[in-house]
Amino acid sequence: MHPLYRQRRGGVLLHPTSLPGPLPRGQICHDAYRFIDFLQQAGITIWQMLPLGPTHADGSPYLALSAHAGNPELISLDWLQDRKLLDNPAQVTDFVQHRQQLEQAWKRFNRQRPRELFAAYEAFVAQQAHWLNDYSLFMAIRESQQHRAWTEWPPPLRDRETSALQRSRSELAERVEFQCFCQFIVSQQWRDLKQYANEHDVKLLGDIPIYVSLDSADVWAQRELFTLDSAGHPQQVAGVPPDYFSETGQLWGNPLYRWAVMQQDNFLWWRQRLQTQLALFDIVRIDHFRALRAFWAVPAGATTAMEGHWVEAPGDALLETLHESFPELPLVAEDLGMITEEVHALRKKFGLPGMKILQFAFDGDPNNHYLPHQHEFESLVYTGTHDNDTTLSWYRQLNEQSRRHVREYLGLSDDTTMPWPLIRSALASVSCLAIVPMQDLLGLGSEHRMNTPGTLEGNWQWRFDWEQLPVDLTQKLRHLLHLYGRL
């Protein structure tokens, strides 16, 4: 087991975009440092978040434009001002203005070339060349193509013909360099934030989506690793069969991996991907871990995920390779949904903790493995995840019989105190890590949920405000963490 799993800890789930701030989504700004201070004061030692990649227009962190890059929208302009790359920036209220400020900072950086920072920039570009070269060119071309997906680019660019790429790299040189600059800055800012968190006894728990977006630098640059036709269109796509969230399954649409091709170089793509993420986080969760044992393949063009079928994957060989490169294998397995004994065996073989969701526990079956008395130490327990409704709303939407069952199990005489009884139950669990979404700590309803699976509108937008924090929240959390041995 990774050292972080050897003692009981408490954590909070909050994506950085949910932090307060002047822009439509949160950033790596002073509020991020203030949040770490709040965690330390409360005795919380894990900050869990979602993937940090640059998003498409829908804002989903699970369909990023790169498996390696950071989201430039997270960049704090104050950090640039502190390093004299910006003068006192005007009040920025949207990401168009934010990007304009980044452009100004880049021009000054390029003109003045501050010695230490520029040396760090050159080192970053050289060290990250294995993904940054393709990503920066991809984003520059995408911008020149009115942000159309790469499958809609002129065939020479779509198919990466050498002469077309050389011409674009020359004609778009400034835009390529700007993309590199943005990646350097977001990397530097996140490095500083992680260092501050670790110095304050807070570890960062990240998230790796099992699949990548079709419209991404990764797929464009390495099409041979994905099940695509000659024009770059998927032949099969990812999804899951009918489950808790959808009666017809979930049709994600990501291209599937050509696992046999990936094995030829000993899973280099995965090793590089994990290396990038471990520079950002102390441990990372693999979303949809079960696809490493068998994945749901849906024919391209299908209207629902029900038309898919299971296909075996070489998860054992992949994890063996990753274990050789990263001996302590700092991973968490998201093992929710239709999980077989083979998936559990794969997880346990490599000492990876799974997940227990309390909102899934109360179906009346005393053998439900999400119930606290069924938990095991090698697991993370959650009241709910970013895909669940808030606990308060979940409880209110249960029928009376189910609410009565919850109250009886938790020893409640009434239901006026939710969600804290479920939070207390998570902290009391034998699971080594207990994670609570920030919405539950604030006692918020369904209008504050982060994501509703199977929907395209209104997701990934939730923010909290410091004024929402009860004055006794840190004291209350610290008391419970001490009471249940997680301090």
Question: Could you give the residue numbers annotated as active site?
Answer: 287, 334, 387
Q: How far apart are CA 337 and CA 439, in angstroms?
A: 23
Q: How far apart are CA 471 and CA 452, in angstroms?
A: 30
Residue 15 · residue 61 · CB < 8 Å: yes
Residue whose token pair is 């299971």: 310
Closest CA to 448 of 396, 385, 395, 393: 393
Residue whose token pair is 């899934």: 360
Q: How far apart are CA 262 and CA 484, in angstroms?
A: 44
